[in-house]
Chain A
Amino acid sequence: MPWSREQMAERAAREIPPGSIVNLGIGLPTLVADCIPPDADIWLHTENGILGMGPFPYEGEEDPQIINAGKQTVTIVRGGSTFDSALSFAMIRGGHVDVTILGAMQVSAAGDLANWAIPGGKVMGIGGAMDLASGSGFILAMTTHVTREGEPKLVAECTYPLTARRCVHRVLTDLGLFACGPEGFRLLELAPGVSLDEVRRKTGAPVLEGRP
């Protein structure tokens, strides 16, 4: 069985070292917030100006002026701070954010990321993705292994417009966890019941086994 969205979020959370500053992108990565152990001293950063983002508010405590990058209502934890967008992106671009988890439309073996536009489709916009991709210390891309049409999202070369080159360190899909590298995607972990054959069939680049 491939991992569910919730299981992916749980697995992604285990990639985050305790004591880290973490930025979670829009979409699938948002779910990771609920899976972070409370004693791990992990501080969530959101590009629109919170360090120390907390969980969704209890009903009746929501404030339309306390939101995350996906414009959902959130809370601020004890010790959290708020600031303007220039300072927020200084944190991002300046390399102060330790881990960034981003959604992906395509990831290449070498770590190129495409996550903001589909050729011929609607342009959603860049938002903070390019800054996060070029400034963060460690980038985990999180996506389903194939598109709705069954096309591989892990590819030899991205054909969609790029977000940044050589930026993704690891990719987590519903089928497994992979490390990016020049020779291919190195398998770090398979989802339970998923075979290496299936992964290879659904991946557009070589999938390597064992330590490099």
Chain B
Amino acid sequence: MSGPRPGRHRDKVRASVAEALEGLHDGARVMVGGFGLCGNPEALIRGVVERGVRDLVLISNNAGNLGKGLNLWLQAGIVRKVICTYIGTNEALHEQMAAGRVEVEIVPQGTFVERIRAAGAGIAAFYTPTGAGTVVAEGKEIREFDGRPHLLERALGADFALVRARRADPFGNLRFWRTARNFSPLMCMAARTTLVEADELVPLGTFDPDDVHLPGIFVHRIVEVREHEDPFEYRVVRPRPEGR
């Protein structure tokens, strides 16, 4: 029997995006956090294009929108397949799909995130009622529980996860901001190598143990990036009433 694998939980902080992306290879399965453009690791997304890799399998809720975020990967032609839940007004993806340049697998969102969670939690597959009696059920094992049909859904893992966090400490304990959290903690669990783009790197011990959103066991590399565009997808406001 061989000994334990080399420890990965030291020296996680990288000086640059390029260093953080080391080893990300052609054909890699890459998860990217974000609900639309909200919570995207903007610098890592740009860095992957600059790195010059191709034939990527992208696992992300939307694959960008409005020419921003993961639309950069589609425009650069470096994606072979997208596994996502919603396309909507993502014209870049509609075009690539229509041209047959990108294969698209659409997954119900709850099933999408649970498949990712399962991969991170060591669960090979699970039964869910979502999608029973629809095209999502095609080719899947169907089993009845409590009189309701359920689909067998397989875990969804990846080679790399690229996520954004509000704050990270050097061990990779993370805190997220509001709805920028979305899929990111689950993706960190499901990938062999997890890369975090943190708005702010804070010293070890900054977080109270009870306040850590994601423990550093799921994080392998951290790069601090202070500047972000944080684009609005749909900026909707209401007029302020008099005197407020």
A residues near B (Cβ < 8 Å) are 46-50, 55-67, 70-74, 76, 82-86, 89, 92-93, 122-131, 134-135, 161-165
Interface residues of B (CB under 8 A from A): 35-39, 61, 65, 84-88, 94, 106-111, 113-114, 116-117, 128-136, 176-186, 230-240, 244
Give, as a whole number of angstroms, the nearest-CB distance from B201 to chain A. 19
Knowing A123-B106, A128-B109 touch, does A59 contact B179 (C-beta < 8 A)?
no
Please indicate the chain A residues that have their CB under 8 angstroms from the CB of B180 in the complex: 65
Say yes or no: A71 contacts B38, CB within 8 Å.
yes
Q: When the two chains form their complex, are residues B234 and A84 in contact, meaning their CB atoms are under 8 A apart?
A: no
Given contact pairs A73-B232, A93-B128, A127-B109, A58 touches B179 in the complex (Cβ within 8 A): no
User: Residue B38 contacts which of A60, A67, A163 (CB distance < 8 angstroms)?
Assistant: A67
Taking the closest CB of chain A, its distance from the CB of B158, in whole angstroms, is 16
CB contact under 8 A between A55 and B86, given known A130-B136, A131-B110, A165-B132: no
Q: Is the CB of B86 within 8 A of A64?
A: no
Task: State the Cβ distance, B32 to closest chain A Cβ, in Å.
Answer: 14
Kindly list chain B residues whose C-beta atoms are within 8 Å of the C-beta of A135.
110, 129-130
B182: which A residues are within 8 A, CB to CB? 48-49, 84-85
CB contacts (< 8 Å) of A134 on chain B: these are 129-132
Inter-subunit contact B108/A56 (CB<8 Å): no
Smallest CB–CB gap between A132 and chain B, Å? 8
A4 to B200, CA, bound (A): 48
Q: Check A89 against B244 for contact (C-beta < 8 Å).
A: no
Q: Using Cβ atoms and an 8 Å threshold, which residues of chain A touch B35?
A: 48-49, 67, 71, 85
Q: Are A130 and B36 in contact (CB under 8 A)?
A: no
Kindly list the 4 A-B residue pairs having the minimum CB-CB distance in the complex, ordered from nearest.
A131-B110, A89-B110, A125-B86, A71-B233
* Minimal beta-carbon separation of A54 from chain B (angstroms): 11
Query: Is the CB–CB distance between A58 and B244 below 8 Å?
Result: yes
Q: Are A86 and B177 in contact (CB under 8 A)?
A: no
Partner of B185, one of A84, A123, A129: A84
Chain B residues within 8 Å of A86, by CB: 113-114, 116-117, 185-186
Check A66–B179 contact: CB distance below 8 A. Answer: yes
Chain A residues with CB below 8 A from B86, complex form: 124-127
Residues of B within 8 A of A126 (CB): 85-86, 106-109, 136
List, sorted by A's number, 16 A–B pairs whose CB atoms are closer than 8 Å: A46-B179, A48-B179, A49-B178, A58-B244, A59-B238, A61-B237, A64-B232, A65-B177, A67-B179, A73-B236, A85-B186, A86-B117, A128-B109, A130-B134, A134-B131, A163-B134
Considering the chains assembled together, what is the distance between the CA atoms of A62 and B131 in angstroms? Answer: 35
Closest B residue, CB atoms, query A124: B88
Q: Which residues of B contact A161 (CB under 8 A)?
A: 134-135
Nearest CB in chain B: distance from A45 CB, A: 12
Chain A residues contacting B106 (CB-CB under 8 Å) are: 123, 125-126
Q: Are A162 and B87 in contact (CB under 8 A)?
A: no
**Smallest CB separation, A56 vs chain B (Å):** 5
Bound Cα distance A67, B231 (Å): 12
Task: Tell me whether B133 and A67 are in contact (CB under 8 A).
Answer: no
Q: Is the CB of B183 within 8 A of A76?
A: no
CB-based contact B179/A82 at 8 Å:
yes
| A209, B185: Cα distance in complex, Å | 51
- With both beta carbons as reference points, the residue of chain A lying nearest to B238 in the complex is identified as A56
Q: In the complex, what residues of A have CB within 8 A of residue B113's CB? A: 84-86, 89
Contacts of B108 in A (CB 8 A): 126-131
B183-A85 in contact (CB<8A): yes
The residues of A that contact B116 with a CB separation of less than 8 Å are: 86
**A-side contacts of B181, CB under 8 Å:** 49, 82-84
Contact yes or no, A130 B94, CB < 8 A: no
Check if A55 sits within 8 Å of B238, measured CB to CB: yes
- In contact, A73 and B237 (Cβ under 8 angstroms): yes
Give min CB distance, B36 to chain A, whole Å.
5
Q: Nearest residue in B to A66 (C-beta to C-beta)?
A: B178
- Select A70's contact among B134, B186, B234, B244, beta carbons within 8 Å: B234
With A65-B38, A71-B36 as given contacts, are A59 and B134 in contact (CB-CB < 8 Å)? no
